[in-house]
Amino acid sequence: MDFSENEETQGLRQLLRRFLDKEVNPEMIARWDREDCIPREMLKRIAELGVCGLTVPEKYGGLGRDVLGMVATIEELARRSTVLAGIYIMNACYGSLNIAESGTDEQKQRLLPSLATGDLLFAYGLSEPDVGSDLASVKTGAERRGETVIINGYKRWCSGAEMSDYIYMLVRSGEPQARYKNLSIVLVPPTSRGITLQTVGTMGMRGIPTNDVILDDVEVPFANVIGGEAGWNRGWSLLAGPTLEAEKLEVPALAVGIAEAAVAEAWEYSQQRKQFGGRICAIQSIRHMLADVQTKLAACRLMLTHAAWKVHTAQPSAVETSMAKLFVCDTAREIVLTCQQVLGAYGYAHGFAMERYVRDVLVMPIFGGSSAIQKNNIANLMRLPRE
């Protein structure tokens, strides 16, 4: 196999790095983290580079589905700012990937052009207070009344709901006993009457607020049901459809970006910090830690690249994407915590990026499908007997 990137992806990385070096400075990033808010205009500035079109078909104003480009974009943005990568994911992944794959013709025509230009943000409304990994148990109910859908319930962990244009919401549209058969996905504007948003403070991934969403007789048009008539009560097949494998790459791409930034900072710091009459990069224990994180980072890159290549080329990839999510996210956490040790007390102090890298990386094995869920996926997909 040829693991080298194609010229398009190499050029994309260079374009993003020039933009970030010029337009995004450490003070901005610290402010987004401190205030738990990033200006939406940052998405528009990213979109001017064309990256929001990487998940939009050409007929709707995009560049066509480029999973390798999407993953590279997330990784490069996360190297500088996890939240910057987060708003890109809200647009290009939560929005464009899902609408392009599962939307009706009308939904595609209405939403994809604006997604390609960075004018729309989507949040996910999947989890609930008592529902995390077992999404088939959602209780938020949707009742169809003619051309209107009435929604009642409570959604949790909706990152960016308050800054989004639509919440991509999984709802119970029939009897709960049917579980997988009576689910639908509805686009719910967070400004709809009957919605109450509550902010949940988090230790990391700050800049895109995390929200609880309470719905009390919220009315949305049936035209907002993903897939229209054909999608009503078929939400599970849409959620677990072809887009799932591309979406499983979002979080490991974030994790690789954070790990790359942490390794770069520890590597540089070790050459500047002096103790015991010399630079600490000469101390064997420090050298071993740095060699270890570089090796683990190289393994993460290879696993992510391989999974992304299989998705990009439309090959069966469910095992590889689950393995990438599991290995990369768990290993990135190890990498960043080791890099923090290299910096010592400075890696724990405000004012140093390492402290933010640690807070951000800790959630990587948890969201987007936990490590435990990925282990179940791998064992099941590889047909390991249950008895």
Q: What is the pLDDT of residue 316?
A: 93
Given a cut of 80, whether residue 1 has pLDDT beyond it is: no
Q: Where in the chain is the domain with CATH 2.40.110.10?
A: 124-234
Write the pLDDT tens digit of every residue in 55-83.
999 999 999 999 999 999 999 999 999 99
Q: Where in the chain is the domain with CATH 1.20.140.10?
A: 248-381
CB 171 within 8 A of CB 185: yes
What average pLDDT does the chain have?
A: 95
Q: What does the block give as tokens for 90?
A: 């809200």
Q: Which amino acid is residue 71, in one-letter code?
A: V
**Using 50, 70 and 90 to split pLDDT, how confident is the model at 178?**
confident
CB 89 within 8 A of CB 207: no
Write the pLDDT tens digit of every residue in 282-332.
999 999 999 999 999 999 999 999 999 999 999 999 999 999 999 999 999
Q: What does the block give as tokens for 278?
A: 């010399």
Q: Where in the chain is the domain with CATH 1.10.540.10?
A: 7-120
248-381 homologous superfamily: Butyryl-CoA Dehydrogenase, subunit A, domain 3 (1.20.140.10)
Write the pLDDT tens digit of every residue in 210-225.
999 999 999 999 999 9
Name the percent of the chain lying above pLDDT 90: 91
Q: What is the pLDDT of residue 351?
A: 83
CATH topology of domain 124-234: Butyryl-CoA Dehydrogenase, subunit A; domain 2 (2.40.110)
Q: For residue 218, what are the β-bridge partners?
A: 151
Q: What is the pLDDT of residue 179?
A: 84
Write the pLDDT tens digit of every residue in 122-137.
999 999 999 888 898 9
Residues 6+ apart with CB under 8 A from 202: 210, 363
**Looking at the whole model, is its pTM more than 0.85?**
yes
Name the CATH code of domain 7-120 (choices 1.10.540.10, 1.10.150.20, 3.30.70.330, 1.20.1440.230): 1.10.540.10
CB 163 within 8 A of CB 40: yes
d(Cα 184, Cα 174) in Å, to the nearest integer?
A: 9
